[in-house]
Structure 1
Amino acid sequence: MPTNFPRIPVLHPSSWFRDVPFRLIWGLVWPQMMMLLCGIVISLTDIWAAGRLSADVQAAVGISFQIQVLLLVFGMALGSGGMAAVSQSMGAGRMKRAQRYVGLVLASCAGIALFVAAAVWLLRRPVLLLLQTPEEVLPEAGYMVELMLMGLPFFYVVQVGGTLFRAARQVIAPLLIVMVSCLLNVAGDLCFGLGWLGCPAFGMAGIAWSTLAANALAALLTVLFLRRGGLLSRRVVPPLRWLKAGAPYLFKVALPACVNGMLWHLGYLVMYGIAAALPDGASALAGLTAGNRIESLLYMPANAFMVTASVLVGNALGAGDRALAKRTGLALFFLSGFSMSAVAACMWPFIGDLAVFFSMESAVQTQIENYLFFNILIVPFTVSGMVMHGVMNGAGATLYPLIVNTSCIWLIRLPFGWGLAHHVLHDACGVYMAMCMSMTVQTSAMVWIFFRKDWARFALNAHAHHEHKEKA
């Protein structure tokens, strides 16, 4: 990467919000909020329906979901690279280059998904044992993981395809796809999982197969809509001569994002193991799972702001406007922090009611209440940090989140979580307290990087030799 680029301008506070496209921000945010709401409805319905069956099934759903999220990091890493490359290409007016990056990302993620699913299938029982899965939960967890692996390639296409849509500012198509998937998934959970409307109740199997069918349909629609929207050309895999010039940037951005995602989600699995190893491990796991899903209601708009930051920062850097990129990042940082803090304050009085709604067992309800108490408290830091992460992704500066996130989860969250939970409090509250500590440090570090480091130097730039190779 050349080093003769101008540094990011130092902005005076009076100019922080000048020329920030607030109308465009809202136009990108609200469809993404609806998409995330549909995803949350799916997750919450899975957890709620599983909780109506038993705590073991609820814990199994949570474990399989965490493994799925961990396995998705390879695809999301490519999605981060695609987000940076496609949004910057669109900002520079390079539609053909954007199409080639879309094809490269989709083809790569499909191959990776098949490989990862096959590899984990062979090791699924050792993985569950490594995660300290309680013996009584193993049969249910094993079944859920098997079905999850069958649907992993579909899940990859849906998630990464959604990222590519948003990178090109096409947010209505993925919204329609997710709405259809949500309706199918929820109807399947209620009808074939719990036996509503006179349908046969298959219990856990009904929940698992409903998710698989919904993901398969959504994957098919994703490919069709990418073609219809002009983002995917007939020749999915770009020419070899272009790959030699364009692929290195994609993987240069994707590699730190992949390592970051892997270590971050692996840390979450270790955190689940810390909770599972407590005397009341099954209740702690069920409470952690349900609390995480409820908490996701708060992060729905925050995720939308984060992705919007990636898109608009990438567009601004692609057009060569570094000052606008920084102003946009700041605007989204403050908007997300203030708005989500207000929502968290409104949710606070209903923590107990939410716990009762998502579990019928008093021990699990207590764990849900404890989880929400600590994690709602830290919302201002968490959501603002997510926007800073989005800014770095849009700029292609995924190295910074790798360093900060990995350090905070492995040097703060997990050591303090283990110590507090097993040696001080003897309860999962120690894990939740450690989560608060790590998020405070993490967001503070990302804000310092935003103001003090030249993160825009990682952006894709159309240099003369690259232009020549691409046209060839």
Structure 2
Amino acid sequence: MVKSVRTPVLPRTAAWRDIWSLAWPQTLLMFCNFLIGFVDVWVAGRIGSDVQASMGMINQLLFFFLVVATAVANGSVAAISQSMGAGLPRRALRYTGLVLEAGLVMGLAIFALGMFIDDGLLALLQVPDGLRPITSYFLDVYLLLLPVYYLFLITHAVFRAQRMVFVPLFSGIITALVNTVADLGLGLGMWGLPNLGYQGVAWATFFSVSCGTLFNLFVLWRRGLLRRESFAPWCWIRQAWPYLFRVAWPGGLMQVVWQSAYLALFAVTGSLPHENVAALAGMSAGMRVEAGLFLPGFAFNMTASILVGEYLGAGRPDMAKRATYRILGVGVAVLTLVAVGVWLVMEPLAAFVAPDPAVQAQAMGYLRWNLLAIPFTLTSMILAGALAGAGATIYNLLAFGCAAWLVRVPTAYILGHHVLGDSTGVWISMFVSQVFQSSLALGIFHFRDWSKFAMRRRKTLTGATNGTQLRTH
């Protein structure tokens, strides 16, 4: 028995207090992540529009670099939380070591690949000659950061899977503080620090994520989760890896499918017959407001992953479903009230993020339709978290992929280019796709046997349950 890994005592159903105790620290963590991105963009804008443009392109590329890390993180939450619910702390410990090894190896591999094809990546992004030196510098620093960033994301997932939600919160606070100080100090030359301009902004990201990662690894070591016993022999890895892979690859592919659909939506918006430039700017401004609005939504998504994994590990799919519906009720109620509040102040919010009157009108149109979609969007998010905790990420790929490419993009093109002829068609397509997506996800969750994707305990020849034995399907 690994004493440092405490098996949770699961109640008969998820209490409101239990849900809230997991959700609010993760909401604050999401706010820290939001603050990091906001400060980066703000400081880059103060240095120059060319720096802001370069950062935007590289951040888009960084998302694709981190898809594998996100996929492994999702798989680790499913595997570790189910192991904890099953009362198998040794299996949870070994999965912790496995995902850390996988993250480090994959981060190094993608770093090496990126350094080899960095010129080709810049050409693929069609970076203008005037932005190429800045964009190239950002790319080099971010590639160097990749192995550390992989460990940063995966260690956060490991802590969440074991209900240690305050550790990622403290890590997020450290990361946000270091990033803010380094951005302002090195990027703008404040507090007597050397004014490095865009180079300082790039290194601010490097230093802040590195500090957060070191903090996570230190806590893992102090909690007894990073020790020799965490790294299992090959015979165990050969049995354990297939389950992790089956959970991870659909989640990673879903991220690629969803993000590529957003790129297609930008292309549809940018080619509208009327006011396409204002529509693009309004879409970007509206997304900034929407990103802040969904901070609690991501917290409820992660809470559903944790609880569903634990209940399935304990062999109680009925409790997993009941807990998900309770989280869904709380989440939709809270975010709907927040959406009503945002609706009441929509005009001043749009004016704040988009001073230009034409862009402001487009931002309000974007927000109007996406605020109406809040109950449907949040339903999709929470159910996606529950299915990920069960290891049923293939269903998420199905629901999100169909909604994005079979509904959203075609509807945006037809309404935007041929029926309405303006951005309203694009905004309507987003609403319609969210209704479709949430309906499909709800149907899958309610009627399909997603619990079959969870790991099962099995008995050894002596009849005792062994934490090193597992069956993956």
TM-score band w.r.t. shorter chain: 0.7 to 0.9
Mapped partners of 1:365, 1:146: distance in 2: 36
Query: Can you list the C-alpha shifts for 1:387-428, whole angstroms capped at 9, x where unaligned?
Result: 000110111111110111111112222233344455566655
2:404 corresponds to which of 386, 409, 414: 409
Deviation at 1:258, TM superposition (A): 2.1
Distance 1:23 1:420, change over 3 A: same
Distance 1:371 1:149, change over 3 A: farther
Q: Does 1:209 align with 2:203?
A: yes
Query: Can you list the C-alpha shifts for 1:90-115, whole angstroms capped at 9, x where unaligned?
Result: 01111110011011111101111222
Query: Can you list the C-alpha shifts for 1:148-192, whole angstroms capped at 9, x where unaligned?
Result: 322222222111211110000011111111101001112222333
Mapped partners of 2:53, 2:362: distance in 1: 13
Corresponding residue of 1:460: 455
Corresponding residue of 1:258: 252
Query: 1:263-274 alignment to 2 at 5 Å?
Result: 263-274=257-268
Distance 1:352 1:63, change over 3 A: farther
Query: 1:218-297 alignment to 2 at 5 Å?
Result: 218-275=212-269, 287-297=282-292
2:108 corresponds to which of 85, 110, 114: 114
Q: Is contact 2:88–2:467 with CA below 8 Å preserved after alignment?
A: no
Mapped partners of 2:197, 2:423: distance in 1: 29
Deviation at 1:465, TM superposition (A): 6.0
Q: Give the letter for the 1:457 counterpart.
A: K
Mapped partners of 1:111, 1:429: distance in 2: 45
Corresponding residue of 2:14: 20
Mapped partners of 2:276, 2:192: distance in 1: 35
Deviation at 1:65, TM superposition (A): 2.1
Mapped partners of 2:435, 2:410: distance in 1: 16
Corresponding residue of 1:312: 307
Q: Is contact 1:313–1:395 with CA below 8 Å preserved after alignment?
A: yes
Q: Give the letter for the 1:331 counterpart.
A: R
1:378 corresponds to which of 367, 373, 376: 373
Distance 1:45 1:288, change over 3 A: farther
Query: Can you list the C-alpha shifts for 1:110-166, whole angstroms capped at 9, x where unaligned?
Result: 111222233234444544554566776655544433333222222221112111100
TM-score, scaled to structure 1: 0.87
Q: Which moved more, 1:352-361 or 1:186-195?
A: 352-361
Corresponding residue of 1:3: none
SS of structure 2 residue aligned to 1:151: helix
Distance 1:207 1:375, change over 3 A: farther
Query: Can you list the C-alpha shifts for 1:37-89, whole angstroms capped at 9, x where unaligned?
Result: 11111112222333344544434333322222222221111111111110011
Q: Which structure has the higher relative contact order (CA within 8 Å, separation 6+)?
A: 1
Mapped partners of 2:132, 2:279: distance in 1: 16
Corresponding residue of 1:14: none
Q: Is contact 2:76–2:95 with CA below 8 Å preserved after alignment?
A: yes
Q: Which moved more, 1:171-180 or 1:113-122?
A: 113-122
Mapped partners of 2:270, 2:111: distance in 1: 25
Q: Does 1:149 align with 2:147?
A: no
Mapped partners of 1:232, 1:222: distance in 2: 10
Q: Is contact 1:49–1:190 with CA below 8 Å preserved after alignment?
A: yes
How many matched pairs?
A: 456
Mapped partners of 1:426, 1:135: distance in 2: 34
Q: Is contact 1:134–1:276 with CA below 8 Å preserved after alignment?
A: no
SS of structure 2 residue aligned to 1:230: coil
SS of structure 1 residue aligned to 2:54: helix
Q: Give the letter for the 1:97 counterpart.
A: R
**Once superposed, what is the RMSD of the aligned Cα atoms?**
3.0
Mapped partners of 1:425, 1:59: distance in 2: 31
Q: Does 1:83 align with 2:77?
A: yes
Q: Give the letter for the 2:104 counterpart.
A: A
Distance 1:43 1:407, change over 3 A: same
SS of structure 2 residue aligned to 1:181: helix
Query: 1:45-444 alignment to 2 at 5 Å?
Result: 45-124=39-118, 126-127=120-121, 130=124, 140-197=134-191, 199-275=193-269, 287-358=282-353, 365=360, 367-421=362-416, 430-444=425-439
Deviation at 1:20, TM superposition (A): 2.6
Q: Which moved more, 1:423-432 or 1:76-85?
A: 423-432
Deviation at 1:329, TM superposition (A): 0.4
Tell me, which stretches of 5 or more residues in structure 2 are unaligned? 1-10
Q: Give the letter for the 2:442 counterpart.
A: V
Q: Is contact 1:191–1:199 with CA below 8 Å preserved after alignment?
A: yes
Distance 1:31 1:155, change over 3 A: same
Query: Can you list the C-alpha shifts for 1:217-254, whole angstroms capped at 9, x where unaligned?
Result: 11111111122223333355321111122222111211
Distance 1:127 1:349, change over 3 A: farther
Q: Which moved more, 1:226-235 or 1:152-161?
A: 226-235
Distance 1:40 1:383, change over 3 A: same
Mapped partners of 1:314, 1:56: distance in 2: 45
Q: Is contact 1:132–1:277 with CA below 8 Å preserved after alignment?
A: no
Q: Is contact 2:354–2:360 with CA below 8 Å preserved after alignment?
A: yes
Mapped partners of 2:323, 2:220: distance in 1: 27
Q: Is contact 2:111–2:144 with CA below 8 Å preserved after alignment?
A: yes
Q: Give the letter for the 1:63 counterpart.
A: M
Tell me, which stretches of 5 or more residues in structure 1 are unaligned? 1-16
Mapped partners of 1:136, 1:369: distance in 2: 33
SS of structure 1 residue aligned to 2:228: coil
Q: Give the letter for the 1:221 counterpart.
A: F
Mapped partners of 1:102, 1:374: distance in 2: 42
Distance 1:452 1:345, change over 3 A: same
Distance 1:314 1:372, change over 3 A: same
Q: Give the letter for the 1:71 counterpart.
A: F
